[in-house]
Amino acid sequence: MNPSPVLLRNYIAGEFVTTKTTFANISPVDGTLIGHVCEADADLVDRAVRAGKAAQQGPWGQYSAAQRAQLLHKIADGIERRFDEFVAAEVADTGRPVHQARTLDIARGVANFRTFAELINQAGNECFEMRAADGSDVFSFSVRKPHGVVAIISPWNLPMLLLTWKVAPAMACGNSVVIKPSEDTPSTATLLAEVMHEAGVPEGAFNLVHGFGPNSAGEYLTKHPDIDAITFTGESRTGATIMKVAAEGVRDVSFELGGKNAAVVFADCDFDAAVAGVIRSSFTNSGQVCLCSERVYVERPIFDRFVAALKQAAENLKIGYPDEDGVNMGSLISHKHRDKVMAYFDLARDEGAEVVTGGGIPNFGDERDRGAYVQPTIWTGLPDDARCVREEIFGPVCHIAPFDTEEEVIRRVNDSAYGLATAVWTRDLRRAHSITRKFHVGMVWVNTWFLRDLRTPFGGVRLSGIGREGGRHSLDFYSEITTICMHP
């Protein structure tokens, strides 16, 4: 029996706020109602921004870096105490397997707060000494200050992971934040607001508004004149719209946008590891990760063998309930998104694709048939200029094509409007060192995928985004850096 629907509220200036206008939160697993979400109007968003601005003049603005770090650890403790609640909320919203939510999504949420707590404690500033013309010693040094109020707009595909990836460094640097999670995944953001409240976060330092994009909370937030910086993860088209708005106030922006990522498999690879790696990079979270490999290039001597092995591995993936033993794939995020993915499946056939496996909707014979499931799908035979090879699909699908030379595969990988990530599978480290520098992307993996040291920079080029976050790069984005030149 499904639990009673819950009401998810906004959180502003230390208080949970109910609104008359609500929208439904629907389970992608079986189409049932999870709860109702209070939608923030323009006045409520304005109240949230003003609360963030006031917090900069209040107790939150007086916190030292050490005090902020201590608070971030306390927030991480709060998430850990309610770990199972966060897992249940993430699974209910997304339909992803429970084991993924436990080991990746919520675990990374905790790690994000702890990592940036440590980083802000250890962050140093530059100091230079020079001799002036009059013979006196002059000292120039830099200091970090918060921007003020940061708007954080997070996506539905990895809700807790990507939200905390931005909230943690923004607050570590002393900013107030106003967050707007995706309307499809409001639950863990609301739980995080509860943890913030329990941890004693000063009023206005953390604010949550629920809603949609255009003519709703997202637009009201990004257009607000008192927002000092905007960070967004989501579709490239939405990012371009936000950038135009941000340009009016010349506000700092950091965007992690879409991708049409490639995996490159050389004949000298560890074959079994490469097959397992490409299965993971193509079908994790039902392909709904901006870093997933939708284009796979395999060196011709092993192409047929690799296609056959990948087909077998894809057909062995278990699709089912999130809490089912051994389940590998859950549902897509919504029926609307499934319709988009299925439209690409139809387009691929029209463009001449050979469907190696999948290409349809699974039939369960139970309530899951009301969910948003799609079969893991593999194509071959499309030309490089096919729309299904060039456009981001964001579903459990990849297209496999053969290649003959390094120069050829480099050209084909780079022939994209996107530039987020590439994965390379080879035993030749000399080749790996050479080829990885030639891809026009923000990140390259060699013989692995989705492995991240949170201290390293992350981001994309071209339609995949602007800016870098991670480690000191996050501290730089979420800080205003002032140089002070001191003459005796």
Q: In this structure, are residues 93 and 187 in contact, taking their beta carbons and an 8 Å threshold?
A: yes
**339/432 Cα distance (integer angstroms):** 39
**Alpha carbon of 466 to those of 11, 112, 267: distances in Å?**
29, 21, 34
Q: In this structure, are residues 96 and 330 in contact, taking their beta carbons and an 8 Å threshold?
A: yes
Q: In this structure, are residues 242 and 230 in contact, taking their beta carbons and an 8 Å threshold?
A: yes
List CB contacts of 237: < 8 A, sequence separation 6 or more.
none
Backbone torsions φ then ψ of 146, nearest 5 degrees:
-70, 150
Token digits for 209?
């508004």
Compute the CA torsion angle 193, 195, 200, 206 (nearest 10 deg): -30
**374/397 Cα distance (integer angstroms):** 10
Compute the CA torsion angle 56, 57, 62, 64 (nearest 10 deg): 20
Q: Which amino acid is at 219?
A: E
Residue burial 389-418, b: 16+ Cβ < 10 Å; e: rest: bbebbbbbbbbbbbbeeeeebbebbeebeb
Which is catalytic among the residues 203, 219, 256, 469? Answer: 256
Q: In this structure, are residues 330 and 98 in contact, taking their beta carbons and an 8 Å threshold?
A: no
Q: Which amino acid is at 164?
A: T
219 is catalytic: no
In DSSP terms, 281 is beta-bridged to none
**SS3 assignment for 330-391:** CCCCCHHHHHHHHHHHHHHHHCCCEEEECCCCCCCCCHHHHCCCCCCEEEECCCCCCHHHHC
Catalytic positions:
256
